[in-house]
Amino acid sequence: MSRLSAVRPAYWISGVLLAIAVVVPLLVSTYAKDEPRLWGFPFFYWYQFLWVFLSAILVSICYWLVITEERKRRAAQGLGDPDRPETEADR
């Protein structure tokens, strides 16, 4: 089995979402214009500001996907919950 086939879908989805959050704001030709205006602000400004919030949402989704997948992986390997504090009995 190749290493590529061992990658879970959650990691692929996270990678695509993070790529969108990085690449789309770099496509300057899509927002290098003045119209339409929103509350007097040119499109250039409010579109970039909108991507600040969209990127935060996308990163949050990616974090949730990866953490959920890691918890499943650790449980399947019998490693326990990584968020639970380690006790003396665990050592």
Q: How high is the pLDDT of residue 89?
A: 55
pLDDT tens string 60-87: 999 998 888 888 877 777 776 656 666 5
Of 5 and 74, the structure prediction assigns the larger pLDDT to: 74
For residue 41, give the 3-state DSSP assignment: strand
Cα separation, 64 vs 68, whole angstroms: 6
Q: How high is the pLDDT of residue 6?
A: 60
pLDDT tens string 27-57: 888 777 767 877 887 888 888 888 899 999 9
| pTM of the complete model | 0.70
Q: What angle do CA 52, 47, 12 make, to 5 degrees?
A: 50
Domain boundaries, the chain: 8-74
